[in-house]
Structure 1
Amino acid sequence: MTQRINYIQQSPELFKKFQAFSNQVKDCGIEQTILDLVSIRASQMNGCGFCLDMHVKEARLHGERELRLYHTAIWRESTLFAPRERAALAWTEVLTKLPEHGVPDDIYESVRGEFSEKELSDLTYAVMAINGWNRANVAFRTAPGSADKAYGLDKANLA
């Protein structure tokens, strides 16, 4: 796969602002484990190899168990995820692939049972951020692993 353009070089100011937004989301107070799962699941759904590779490595560096990473794609069938994580994954999926008539009430109510209004708002921004990154990296075919050294992901030892 050959990268089409380097969007970071082409739009450095926009990249910096979007990166600052994403960094702010990381500091929102939602557990890092949930933020990692959100990024992994959205990247799986969007077919973003660059982001999936990056976030799996980040999750390992954050101490995530290997089997849970494998089970992220099958979280509904897996017994490895807590109710709060399941709610976050359901919210991620519904916002990543919006249904024709919007977010169903049952999914909203389920997520509200696990997250405060502030947390749900922050979680929504987290989903928005990863979906934005997915779209840029899929559009321009950013190669998985190409930023490992820059982001310290080579320390994950998953090569």
Structure 2
Amino acid sequence: MEPRMNAQKANPEAYQTMLKLEQFMASTGIDKKLYELIKIRASQINGCAFCLDMHTRDTRKLGESEQRIYLLNAWREAPFYTEKERAVLALTEAVTLISEAGVPQEVYDNVRAHVDEKEFMALIMAINTINCWNRIAISTSMVPGQI
């Protein structure tokens, strides 16, 4: 597989805007492991090999277990995730697949049982950020392992 283009070189301003989103996310206080789980789950749904490769490696560097990484695709059937993580993973799926059913009230209520409004908005931004990266990587055919 060959990349279609180098997105960073093709439009540096657009790429810098995405990096600013990542800088914002770093300032939100969201747990780094949780943010990586969001990135992996959205990337699984979107089929983004580049992002899956990057974020599974990043998650391992944070000390996440192989078991939790491997079973993330089946988190509902695996007992290794906290109630907050489960709520956030359900939100990640709902926002990533928003055209299917929006964000159901039950999903919203479950997340809000664990986070305040500010953190909820940070989670929405996290989910939107990785979905945007997925779309950039897939559209430009970014190849796993190239960065």
Give TM-score scaled by structure 2 length: 0.96
Q: How many residues align?
A: 147
Q: What is aligned with 2:145?
A: 145
Q: What is aligned with 1:54?
A: 54
Distance, in Å, in 2 between the alignment partners of 1:54 and 1:101 is 29
Q: What is aligned with 1:9?
A: 9
Deviation at 1:100, TM superposition (A): 4.1
Which amino acid is 1:31 matched to? D
Which runs of 5 or more residues in structure 1 are unaligned? Answer: 148-159
Which runs of 5 or more residues in structure 2 are unaligned? Answer: none
Which amino acid is 1:25 matched to? M
Other structure's SS at 1:75 match:
helix
Q: How does 1:1-159 map to 2 (within 5 A)?
A: 1-147=1-147
Structure (1 or 2) with the greater helix fraction: 2
What is the RMSD computed on CA atoms of the aligned residues?
1.0
Deviation at 1:129, TM superposition (A): 0.3
Distance, in Å, in 2 between the alignment partners of 1:102 and 1:49 is 25
Which amino acid is 2:37 matched to? L
Distance, in Å, in 2 between the alignment partners of 1:136 and 1:99 is 19
Identity in percent: 39
Give TM-score scaled by structure 1 length: 0.89
Deviation at 1:75, TM superposition (A): 0.3
Which amino acid is 2:62 matched to? H
Distance, in Å, in 1 between the alignment partners of 2:79 and 2:110 is 18
Distance, in Å, in 2 between the alignment partners of 1:139 and 1:103 is 26
